[in-house]
Amino acid sequence: MPTAAHQLGHDGEEAALQYLLAQGYELLHRNYRHRRAEVDLIMRWDRELLVFVEVKARSSAQYGHPEEFVTERKRQLLRLAAEHLQEELNWPGDIRFDILALSPTAQGLRIDHFEDAFW
């Protein structure tokens, strides 16, 4: 039986994916793994840009906003995975790292999209 936090994470990732698809992004990979790194979503935007997306869902902002929980270590792992996938795909275009922060509201999940959140 999944915990409430695990369920929120799963629901958040699905909501983030649907949000990005509605914005015109194309899904390339979901839960992409390379060594110790995992990228929640890898999307293509406008055929020329690979977007590596970290989805963070929190049940409340009591201990901080969701986007604040993307640590420097996590950023390093995302960069490592990005480098590997670029080589694997022989990707000639640009890349970007985004964070989608999700928080529950009375109407559902609020999504804050931080484009180019870090390098």
Q: Tens digit of pLDDT for each residue in 82-118?
A: 999 999 999 999 999 999 999 888 888 899 999 999 9
Report whether 62 contacts 15 (CB < 8 A).
Answer: no
Tokens of 112: 């804050």
Predicted confidence at residue 9, as pLDDT, reads: 77
What are the pLDDT digits (tens) for 60-90? 766 778 888 899 999 999 999 999 999 999 9
Tokens 């670029």 map to which residue?
86
Find out if CATH 3.40.1350.10 is the number for domain 4-118: yes
Tokens 């409430």 map to which residue?
4
Q: What is the pTM of this model?
A: 0.90
